[in-house]
């Protein structure tokens, strides 16, 4: 039987630290800290609940991150 692949390690970074930052600088900072994917979403966006290792999600309103979470 084939082994289950090990997902890539996520950066040791707290999503809470991005809340309140302007969206563009927050995205650049997240990429510098090792996030492979950074997704900006408007408030109330309908998204899938699939978890992607290495992805950081931002909810952005009026150009600022109002919520951030992994996956």
Q: What is the pLDDT of residue 40?
A: 96
Q: How far apart are CA 14 and CA 55, in angstroms?
A: 12
The position carrying tokens 């997704």 is 39
Cβ proximity of 55 and 38 under 8 Å:
yes
pLDDT in tens, 3-38: 887 777 789 999 999 999 999 999 999 999 999 999
Pairing of strands 37-41, 55-61: parallel
pLDDT in tens, 35-65: 999 999 999 999 988 999 999 999 999 999 9
pTM: 0.85
- Token code pair at residue 20: 């309140």
Q: Read off φ and ψ for residue 40, nearest 5 degrees.
A: -100, 130
């Amino acid at each position: 039987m084939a082994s289950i692949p090990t997902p890539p390690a996520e950066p040791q970074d707290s999503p809470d630290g991005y809340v309140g930052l302007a969206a563009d600088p927050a995205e650049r900072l997240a990429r510098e800290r090792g996030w492979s994917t950074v997704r900006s979403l408007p408030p109330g966006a309908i998204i899938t609940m699939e978890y992607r290792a290495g992805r950081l999600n931002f909810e952005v309103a009026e150009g600022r991150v109002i919520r951030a979470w992994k996956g």
